[in-house]
Amino acid sequence: MNFQCDREKLLEAIQVCQRAISGKSMLPILSGILLKSDKNVLHLSSTDLEISIRTTVDILAKDGGAIVVPARLISDILSNLEAPSVELTLIKEKSQLQILAGESKFDISVYFEEDFPKIPEAAEMPACAINNSDFSRAAREVVKGASRDDSKPVLTGVLVEINADLLRMVATDSYRLAVCETKITGGPAEEIKIIVPARSLKELNRVISGKDNGQVAISLTENQVIFRLDNVDLISRLIDGDFPNYKQIIPDSYEKIIKLNKSKAVASIKRAAIMAQNNSPIKMTATNKQVVLSANTQDVGEAVEKMDADYSGEEIKIAFNPDYLLDGITSVDTDEFALEIRDPLKAVMIKPVGEDRFQYLIMPVRLT
pLDDT tens column, 99-151? 999 999 999 999 999 999 988 776 678 889 999 999 999 999 999 999 999 99
Full-model pTM: 0.91
Q: Report d(CA 331, CA 9) in Å as an integer.
A: 33
How much is the pLDDT for 123?
A: 65
293 and 302 Cβ atoms separated by less than 8 Å: no
- pLDDT-derived band at 39 (thresholds 50, 70, 90) equals confident
Task: Over range 77-85, report the average pLDDT.
Answer: 97
Question: Is the pLDDT reported for residue 214 higher than 80?
Answer: yes
Enumerate the domain spans of the chain.
2-115, 125-248, 250-362
Question: Is there a shared CATH topology between the 2-115 domain and the 250-362 domain?
Answer: yes
Looking at the domain 125-248, which fold is it?
DNA Polymerase III; Chain A, domain 2 (3.10.150)
Question: Is the pLDDT reported for residue 363 higher than 90?
Answer: yes
Question: Is the pLDDT reported for residue 27 higher than 90?
Answer: no
How much is the pLDDT for 122?
A: 60
Percent of the chain predicted with pLDDT > 70 = 99
Question: Is the pLDDT reported for residue 239 higher than 80?
Answer: yes
Thinking of the domain 2-115, which architecture would CATH place it in?
Roll (3.10)
Percent of the chain predicted with pLDDT > 90 = 85
How much is the pLDDT for 120?
A: 72
In this structure, the number of other CB atoms found within 10 A of the CB of residue 346 comes to 12
Task: Over range 229-236, report the average pLDDT.
Answer: 93
11 and 79 Cβ atoms separated by less than 8 Å: yes
How much is the pLDDT for 65?
A: 93
Task: Over range 58-71, report the average pLDDT.
Answer: 94
Q: Report d(CA 273, CA 334) in Å as an integer.
A: 23
Q: Residue 243's closest CA among 190, 196, 180? A: 196
Question: Is the pLDDT reported for residue 304 higher than 90?
Answer: yes
Task: Over range 15-37, report the average pLDDT.
Answer: 90
Question: Is the pLDDT reported for residue 38 higher than 90?
Answer: no
Q: Report d(CA 44, CA 233) in Å as an integer.
A: 10
Please identify, in words, the CATH class of the domain defined by 250-362. Answer: alpha beta
Task: Over range 11-31, report the average pLDDT.
Answer: 90
pLDDT tens column, 243-289? 999 999 998 888 899 999 999 999 999 999 999 999 999 999 999 99
Average pLDDT of the chain to the nearest whole number: 94
Helices within the chain (DSSP H only): 7-17, 71-80, 132-142, 198-208, 262-273, 322-331
Residue 335 DSSP symbol: S
What are the CA-CA distances from residue 359 to residues 126, 158, 226 (Å)? Answer: 28, 15, 26
pLDDT tens column, 313-354? 899 999 999 999 999 999 998 999 999 999 889 999 999 999
Question: Is the pLDDT reported for residue 23 higher than 70?
Answer: yes
- pLDDT-derived band at 237 (thresholds 50, 70, 90) equals very high
Q: Report d(CA 2, CA 89) in Å as an integer.
A: 4
